[in-house]
A and B are shown apart, each in its own frame.
Chain A
Amino acid sequence: MKPIRTAASALAIALAVPGTAFAQTELSLWYHGAGNDVERSILVGIIEDFNASQDDWAVVLEEFPQAAYNDSVVAAAVSGNLPDIIDVDGPVMPNWAWAGYMQPLQLSEGALDGFLPGAIGEYNGEVYSVGLWDAAVAMYARRSTLEEHGIRIPTLDAPWTRDEFDDILETLQASGEFEYALDLGMADQGEWYPYAFAPFLWSFGGGIVDRETYQTAEGVLNGDEAIAFGEWWQSLFDRELVPGTSQDMADREIGFIEGDYALQWNGNWFGIRTLEAVGDDLLFLPAPDFGNGPKIGGASWQFGVSSTSEHPEGASAFIEFAIQDEYLAAFSDGIGLIPATAEAAAMTENYSEGGPLEVFFGLSEAQAMLRPVTPGYVFQALEFRKALSDIANGADVIDTLDAATDAINDDIERNNGYATAQ
């Protein structure tokens, strides 16, 4: 009789305590921000709010360092240990969706209304991931430098044209005041190359792969427009207007601030730091228009649900909870990235009207273009990076682009066109 009484008492206590933690099902969340206290504190805050807001789910955070994150996820997928919720870099998402690591989100109708396009991870007509922020690239310049050399300050509506941009670089270099007229960031030889430089190629009218079918790079990466881009790209180095691939990372980080470079092509995540050093003289300018409109890259880190999650509805509920404007604004204030909605931007210190980085929201909205939304992008990015590096170092433009095109086509063929398994 005693055991029955004990069990009945335990049940009574459980029912009497509303919202007790043990009623919640645990959802594991992997995040790439280990080592970043600010990101951690904001994310932990969101998780605590979510866990306290309902009785069904309890999200548990596990953090990974960014540089090791993708490898950890792939290893976990191989060993069948994926968590419920993962975060994924935007351009990598199609590869993970195709490989079967992710499943589409189950979001409410209208949950993504007003989101920047770069913050929505769509593949095969379904939303697999959503970001709380986007990133953007701009041309960093000093107003005083431009005025001193009689250079027009470009706007979103009237960006620099190709000829104008070339003249500006020549003028600045010829002034003898700078080691280089422009810093492209050649020292950062990771995803920066396709993220920052593919937009130049797009603006020329070329591409990494045919975006209609994603089945070939022929005529896109080695067509006339791409060759024109390649020749222009090589000329930057031949004319010694920009540092080459041997650029030191230290020069990349302080070269513009110290006045060695007149202009710098850089991301908004360096904006605050550069503002602190340069002050009000700093300008964030839109990308030049090389003939097909000014372009910049879009899509940053986003949240998605793993394919092995047994509770996709709970995982999606957390993601939908996390994309509230107040959290988008908190992340933006904390780490300086662009909030995913205009409403959230208005709540931030940096992106609200008159804020020091406000221009980046406009850039992202007006110029951002996603990198190829295909599982093959992961390989294509490597080929593109190699080709740009080789051309910068003097390789024949046509041969190099042809070789990259062949390699990308071979990869697509080897993977059966990256067809999604039915």
Chain B
Amino acid sequence: MAAVTETNHALKLTGRYALLVAVALIFVLPILFMVVSSLKPDRQLLSDTSSFAAFLPVGDISVGNYFAAFDRAPVGLFIFNSVFITVVTVVISLFLCSLAAFAFAYLEFRGKNIVLSVIIATLIIPFETIAIPMLMVVNSLPWIGAEGLQWGWLNTYHVQIVPFLADALTIFLFVQYFKDLPKELIEAARLDGATWFEVYRLVIVPIAGPVFATAAILKFLIMYNQYLWPLMVTQSEQFRPVMVGLQYFFQLNTAWGEVMAYLSMITIPVLVFYLVLQRAFIASIASTGIKG
């Protein structure tokens, strides 16, 4: 009887692992294809797509596509631009949105629910519908920089950062998380004489690691993958991010190996950011000790 149970258990375990491996392969294979293809010449890359060889580093393997990608486009500049724009936006956005959410979650003021409803309602407006009006607005705004007062924000970093510093999704995520935190923590801090900002900084932020990590990952992906807006506001190569840069590789005769090499390179910052935040995410859960 015990042997039958053990066999059943082993079968279930095998089935479960088989399923997990199958699911993992669905996610891993495209990345494997991208990296492996980046090492192959075009002709072989295209021929291999009809077989499993597409996922194997076989044949004429080299890093030539990577050198060619650097020759074709300023890859380093594009990656720097994207990382800079994304990191600055994420950092400032987390601060602003969490502060706004803190106010919505804990402070009482007239019209709070209406304002929050309006902000959340903006989630249903596609960016494409407001892109042109936004372009016209930023094109006529002043900016004081190193060269003094200038009108129009086109061809700058800040035109790719400022419009995205606050967004409904991030505020909504924070509000939902803050509302579920124990009210007793805030009340105790207030009784101890903490100001509202001190409550935010010393009580809420330390225990809100998971939502900060989640919001950061989501915001990072959105910003790093920006295409339409940078396309509209950067007429100078100096400020273009990676997704606009990707278009440099699509010519009449597309060099697919270089495309894959470029994609492999621009994926690295995303993976690094995700891995770093994944640790923070787990650590924050382990350290808070909060029980619902």
B-binding residues in A (CB < 8 A): 30, 34-37, 62-68, 71-72, 75-76, 78-81, 248, 250, 253-254, 258, 267, 269-270, 273, 335
Contact = CB atoms under 8 A, between A and B. Distances in A.
Interface in B39-85: 43, 45-47, 49-50, 71-73
B46 A35 contact: no
A81 B244 contact: no
A34 B237 contact: yes
A229 B245 CA distance: 41
Q: Which interface residue of B72, B231, B235, B247 has the most chain A CB atoms within 10 A? A: B235
A273 B73 contact: no
Interface stretch (B86-94, B178-186, B248-256): B248-256
Contacts, number: 74
A66 B247 contact: yes
B13 interface: no
B154 interface: yes
B139 A80 contact: yes
A248 B154 contact: no
A250 B247 contact: no
Interface of B, helix, strand, loop or mixed by DSSP: helix
Interface residues on B, range: 20 to 34
A11 B115 CA distance: 63
A78 B136 contact: yes
Given A78-B136, A79-B154, A273-B253, A68 B247 contact: yes
Contacts of A81: 139, 154, 235
Given A34-B247, A273-B253, 6 more contacts: A66-B251, A67-B247, A78-B135, A248-B49, A250-B45, A258-B47
Contacts of A250: 45-47, 49-50
B135 A79 contact: yes
A62 B234 CA distance: 11
A76 B234 CA distance: 10
A37 B49 contact: no
Contacts of B232: 71-72, 75
A337 B43 CA distance: 22
Nearest to A65: B247
Contacts of B228: 71
Contacts of B72: 35-37
Given A75-B231, A81-B235, A34 B248 contact: yes
B46 A254 contact: yes
B244 A35 contact: no
Given A68-B244, A79-B154, A63 B252 contact: no
Contacts of B231: 68, 71-72, 75
A269 B253 contact: yes
Pairs A-B, 6 closest by C-beta atoms: A35-B248, A65-B247, A75-B232, A250-B46, A79-B139, A67-B247
10 contacts: A30-B235, A34-B237, A35-B73, A36-B251, A65-B245, A65-B250, A66-B247, A71-B228, A79-B135, A81-B139
A248 B233 CA distance: 34
B287 interface: no
Contacts of A67: 247, 250
Contact of A63 (B43, B139, B237, B250): B237
B236 interface: yes
Contacts of B139: 79-81
B123 interface: no
Nearest to B71: A37
A393 to B, nearest CB: 23
Contacts of B247: 34-35, 65-68
A235 B105 CA distance: 64
A312 B22 CA distance: 62
A36 B258 CA distance: 13
A62 B237 contact: yes
A233 B135 CA distance: 43
A81 B244 CA distance: 19
A35 B237 contact: no
